[in-house]
């Protein structure tokens, strides 16, 4: 009996290995192509079958080898069943990542881009892709997961990137087309050194992104700084915003909370251009402080976020962007004709505010000020939650976002004009 079970187990392993080999062998014919300058090497390690494949993509060529020979740009670890589900389009890479069935090392954008480099069986387009969109604010890197006709745009917080919305993209994309942007100055997007990096300028960049993709209206989801930018776009161009889901938005601090205002005014972001040490331990400590219950997070996912910040912060332009944006958040005018709290009374798009009751950066007490300014706004305070609810309590937060979108009705939306350009857009970034 033990011998038969052993034979069955070996047979099953052999079957998975055979199907995995066939899926790898089909990659060259599924390859969608990239710019001539694009050259990236991926290692795919299937732990349950104990094999590693090398996939090298160069311009219009794709080569697949067993037993890798080159130093990889990205290492992707998964199992045979997940690999087959990805290649057959039964799940996306974000689904696999959120279920802890896939991990990656190296350039995060390249890891995400792998899926978008290959067509699915039957010539179908990939479930998600990394693209780059030219705007007046520069080139914006975006993760796009195409689903239903309604468009959803996710905007991250200060020092973060589109990676903070992986769970949200996975949750919303079956029913909606979801865009997770790297805002200008952050992640893999352009970082113009002389840009103001204030809410109006960033909101114009998001509107430029919408114009480039022929998106008439979209539901905006923003965390922290991204929530402030989403609000700015809702105030400046309400006809372009179907709804707002604001997750611990960075609203203007009130006068009595601005004791350090004179000092902050004197600090010049240009000083950040001077190279200075960044201790990874300090970045880790700041990251974990964002959450009420850090043990809710997968340490491996947290390591990816910390490494991405450290990698980006080495850039002079990224440091200037970070410090300029941080200064503008603190100096955001609360009162007067152009003050945020004065203007909030004019907000038209239906809005949801989600607060964490243990948020150390943006306290939930802001809710009472929002009630005065926007009596009809929906507000939810999540118990035992910190500053990044879509990461700490993803199921609850994403359910609230879905409810907000559904209750706002369906916006008119045009098809994306840049469909299928993912590999080419990424190639420009990798080469440059």
For 346-362, what is each residue's pLDDT tens digit?
A: 999 999 999 999 999 99
pLDDT at 16: 76
CA distances from 185 to 144, 190, 206, 323, 391 (A): 19, 6, 13, 10, 22
- What are the distances in angstroms from CA 101 to CA 6, 98, 132? 25, 8, 27
Which ranges of 186-245 would DSSP assign to H, the alpha helix? 199-212, 225-236
Q: What is the mean pLDDT of the chain?
A: 86
Which range of 38-47, 267-276, 421-430 scores highest in mean pLDDT? It is 38-47
* Residue 268: pLDDT over 70: no
Rounded alpha-carbon distances, angstroms, from residue 112 to 17, 106, 117, 118, 310: 24, 11, 10, 12, 19
Mean pLDDT confidence for 411-420: 42
DSSP 429: H
CATH topology of domain 147-415: Rossmann fold (3.40.50)
**pLDDT value of residue 49:** 85
For the cut 60, the answer to whether the pLDDT of residue 203 exceeds it is: yes
Question: 68: closest CA among 90, 50, 52?
Answer: 52
Percent of the chain at pLDDT exceeding 90 = 59
If you average pLDDT over residues 91-108, what whole number do you get? 87
pLDDT at 18: 86
Residue 323 has pLDDT above 90, yes or no: no
What pLDDT is attached to residue 412? 42
Percent of the chain with pLDDT over 70: 86
Closest CA to 23 of 70, 89, 91: 89
Distance CA 177, CA 169 (A): 9
Please indicate whether residue 77 or residue 99 has the higher confidence score (pLDDT): 77
- Side-by-side strand order, sheet with 351-356: 128-135, 138-145, 177-181, 151-155, 218-223, 241-247, 351-356, 378-382
Of the CA atoms within 13 Å of residue 363, those in its CB half-sphere come to 7
Q: For residue 158, what are the CA distances in angstroms to 57, 120, 139, 339?
A: 33, 35, 18, 21
pLDDT of 233: 98
Which residue ranges make up each domain of the chain?
23-125, 147-415
- pLDDT at res. 207: 98
Cβ-based burial of 239 (10 A; exposed 0-12, middle 13-18, buried ≥19): exposed
Instruction: Give the C-alpha separation, 207 to 101, whole Å.
Output: 35
What pLDDT shows up at residue 402?
Answer: 96
Mean pLDDT is highest, among 10-14, 64-68, 207-211, 365-369, for: 207-211
CATH topology of domain 23-125: Nonspecific Lipid-transfer Protein; Chain A (3.30.1050)
How far CA 291 is from CA of 59, 170, 313, 329, 384, in Å, comes to 42, 21, 22, 20, 9
Residue 413 half-sphere exposure toward CB, CA atoms < 13 A: 22
Q: Provide mean pLDDT across the span 195-215.
A: 97
For residue 156, pLDDT over 90 is answered with yes
**Tokens 């062998």 belong to which residue?**
25
């Amino acid at each position: 009996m033990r011998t038969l079970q052993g034979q069955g187990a070996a047979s099953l392993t052999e079957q998975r290995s055979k199907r995995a080999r066939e899926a790898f062998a089909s990659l060259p014919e599924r390859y969608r192509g990239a710019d001539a300058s694009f050259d990236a090497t991926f290692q795919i390690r299937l732990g349950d079958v104990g094999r590693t494949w090398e996939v090298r993509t160069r311009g219009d060529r794709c080569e697949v080898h067993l037993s890798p020979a080159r130093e990889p740009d990205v290492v992707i670890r998964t199992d045979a069943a997940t690999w087959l589900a990805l290649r057959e389009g039964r799940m996306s890479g974000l689904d696999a990542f959120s279920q802890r069935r896939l991990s990656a090392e190296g350039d995060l954008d390249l890891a995400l881009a792998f899926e978008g480099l290959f067509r699915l069986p039957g010539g179908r387009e990939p479930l998600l892709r990394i693209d780059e969109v030219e705007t007046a604010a520069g080139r914006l890197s975006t993760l796009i997961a195409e689903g239903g006709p309604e468009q959803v745009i996710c905007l991250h917080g200060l020092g973060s990137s589109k990676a903070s919305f992986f769970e949200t993209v996975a949750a919303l994309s079956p029913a909606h087309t979801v865009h997770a942007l790297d805002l200008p100055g952050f992640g893999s997007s352009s970082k113009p050194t002389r840009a103001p990096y204030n809410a109006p300028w960033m909101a114009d960049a998001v509107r430029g992104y919408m114009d480039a993709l022929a998106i008439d209206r979209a539901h905006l989801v923003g965390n922290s700084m991204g929530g402030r930018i989403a609000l700015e776009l809702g105030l400046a161009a309400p006809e372009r915003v179907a709804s707002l889901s604001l997750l611990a938005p960075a609203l203007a601090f009130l006068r009595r909370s601005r004791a350090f205002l004179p000092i902050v005014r004197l600090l010049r972001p240009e000083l950040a251009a001077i190279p200075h040490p960044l201790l990874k331990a300090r970045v880790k400590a700041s990251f974990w402080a964002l959450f009420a219950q850090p043990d809710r997070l997968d340490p491996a996912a947290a390591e990816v976020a910390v490494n991405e910040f450290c990698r980006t912060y080495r850039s002079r332009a990224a440091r200037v962007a970070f410090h300029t944006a941080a200064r503008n958040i603190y100096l955001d005018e609360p009162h007067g004709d152009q003050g945020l709290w004065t203007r909030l009374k004019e907000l038209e798009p239906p809005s949801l505010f989600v607060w964490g009751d243990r948020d150390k950066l943006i306290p939930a007490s802001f809710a009472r000020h929002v009630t005065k300014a926007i009596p009809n706004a929906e507000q939810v305070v999540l118990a035992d939650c910190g500053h990044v609810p879509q990461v700490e309590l993803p199921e609850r937060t994403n359910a609230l976002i879905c409810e907000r979108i559904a209750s706002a009705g369906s916006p008119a939306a045009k098809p994306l004009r840049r469909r299928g350009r993912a590999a080419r857009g990424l190639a420009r970034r990798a080469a440059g």
